[in-house]
Chain A
Amino acid sequence: MSHLVSIDQVDMRYGGADGTLAVSGLTMRVDKGEFAAVVGPSGCGKSTLMKLVTGLHIPQTGVVVVAGAQVTKPVSIVGMAFQNPTMLPWRTTLDNILLPLEIVERHRHRLRANKKEYVEKAEHLLETVGLKGFGQKFPWQLSGGMQQRANLCRALIHEPDLLMLDEPFGALDAFTREELWCVIRDLHAAQGVTIVLVTHDLREAVFLADTIFVMSARPGRILKEHRVPFQRPRDLDIMYQTEFNDMVHELHGEIAKARAVA
């Protein structure tokens, strides 16, 4: 019962009976508080996995269970962040971060009356990701990395139990990316939130995750599950250790093989 997410033998096909089969026989489990990473060749249905878990898509066969309940409609205990920050340009950064609270049933009715409390929370989050004092700026006044930090705040503001990240650092430069890895690592440590990270970057996966799922080429399913043995808290320096590089190398080989099969 400690699984927060459990996916059993799921098939998901787009566009009717003879459409593309995106995932097939997909089975995976993510424990509460775990940091899971999903890697695989491109087009392996990683984004489909995101949509299945958040309830944006309902699978044709198989069962998706999140927090003990079968997913049949969007689950609002999830926060999402994509590679594209999709901040709304007519709202300030702070108002962008508060947006989920205007939607989620639990918060929307008490937002107006408790605005001050929520704004404080948002500002605290901004401080955590290193954006203190930028709340009144508009998103287009921020750099790409700063927008992505704000995007994380927006995904976390309603205190989700599960954070789904779809290549959130894909469009950033190497240094900003490493900075944000540390931000995510610290958020995970501090808030005990369960995180599922979909990524192409194997070093990112090994550095951040407890468990790494390797997916096959389309139709996607889980080829292998790796436990990442490194102790927490992890420092950026572990990326230069032999064990770390061996693991990245091994993953790289598996994905290359999965690509070749396709």
Chain B
Amino acid sequence: MTSIIETAVTPVAKKPLLARINWVRAAPFLYTLALFLIWEGLVLALDMPPTILPLPTRVFQAIVQYWSPIWKNSLQTLYTTTVGFAIAVVAGLAIGLFIGWSKTIYSGLYPLMIGFNAIPKVALVPILVIWFGIGTVPAVLTAFLISFFPIVVNVATGLATIEPETEDVLRALGARKMDIMLKVGIPRSMPYFFGSLKIAITLAFVGSVVSETVASNYGLGNMMSSAQSQFNVPLVFAGLLMLAVEGIVMYALMALLERRMTGWAHRSTMAQ
């Protein structure tokens, strides 16, 4: 095996620089760079005023200039998002298992859940403010409310789609419902669960920022809305950029977790 790799490596080293770059690996960075370059070029070419669309360089300058508030507010948003998300994970898993447990519970609760999910969560923020006042709590709760639905649906789907043969084999051996859930249902729904975390974490950001924008004195949402009222458009964009970065990092973390925990479900890539 090693000898094959070595012989394969030597001719590669002689290739010109461009051929040696792993383009698939480099692509995300190059595309991101290209986005900013096109943005910069368009703004310069169309001579747009910075109050409408600032130059990316101006946005980066704003990030440096306002680093202290940006950092503080980013941490606050990350905090409310992850706490809301964590509650959603625990509650979503529990409710998903509960719903997937029996057909009656499933058919009874499912329409309720869909109706609840259809309500725009921004409309709930005022109610949360009445109950808990402005600040961290409504942001955490909005992040939770918006992100727990995909987790519930995915876990319940995993449980509901157990192969009937597997269930027959186990039931014939005298397995109780609990046995089937523990041995088959729960392991089986884990790929669905970890897959849903990627969707849920991005939704959690939406929830927390919406709530911060409407009803908080902290967080990126609040920072952006006050920057907007002062026509500090570069700072608004700086906030958006920070949100994008946080979103990508958390998403990557969930994707990594998914791979680690349920490698067996991605067997086409794992099998030699």
Contacts and interface: CB of A to CB of B under 8 A. Distances in A.
A74 B165 contact: no
B7 to A, nearest CB: 29
A158 B165 contact: no
Nearest to B182: A102
Interface in B157-180: 163, 165-166, 168-175, 179
Given A74-B173, A103-B173, A80 B168 contact: yes
Contacts of A141: 271
Nearest to A73: B174
A70 interface: no
B169 A86 contact: yes
B267 A89 contact: yes
Contacts of B168: 51, 54, 56, 80, 82
Contact of B172 (A55, A105, A138): A55
A21 interface: no
Contacts of B170: 99-100, 103
Band of interface residues on A? 20 to 34
A105 B173 CA distance: 9
B267 A138 contact: yes
Contacts of B265: 89-90
A80 B169 contact: yes
B184 A88 contact: yes
Interface residues of B, number: 22
B187 interface: yes
B259 interface: no
Contacts of B132: none
B104 to A, nearest CB: 17
B183 interface: yes
Contacts of A76: 172-174
Given A86-B163, A90-B187, A103-B179, A74 B171 contact: yes
Of A55, A74, A86, most buried by chain B (CB within 10 Å of CB) is A86
Nearest to B174: A76
Contacts of B171: 56, 74
B264 interface: yes
Contacts of A84: 163, 165
A82 B167 CA distance: 12
A3 B173 CA distance: 21
Contacts of A102: 179, 183
Contact of A103 (B174, B187, B190, B262): B174
A138 B166 contact: no
Given A88-B187, A138-B264, A104 B172 contact: no
Of A51, A54, A81, A99, most buried by chain B (CB within 10 Å of CB) is A99
Contacts of A155: 169
B184 A54 contact: no
A161 to B, nearest CB: 13
A255 interface: no
B158 to A, nearest CB: 12
Contact of A104 (B163, B174, B183, B262): B174
A111 interface: no
Interface string A75-119: 110101110101011100000000110111100000000000000
Contacts of A80: 168-169, 172
B102 to A, nearest CB: 18
A84 B167 CA distance: 12
A50 to B, nearest CB: 8
B264 A89 contact: yes
Contacts of B172: 54-56, 74-76, 78, 80, 164
Given A88-B166, A140-B267, 14 more contacts: A54-B172, A55-B172, A75-B172, A78-B173, A80-B168, A82-B168, A82-B169, A86-B163, A88-B184, A90-B265, A100-B173, A103-B173, A103-B179, A164-B172
21 contacts: A74-B172, A74-B173, A75-B172, A80-B168, A82-B165, A82-B169, A86-B165, A86-B166, A86-B169, A88-B188, A89-B267, A90-B187, A90-B188, A99-B170, A99-B183, A103-B170, A103-B179, A104-B174, A138-B267, A140-B264, A140-B271
Interchain residue pairs A-B with the least CB separation, the first 6: A54-B172, A76-B174, A103-B173, A86-B166, A103-B175, A82-B165
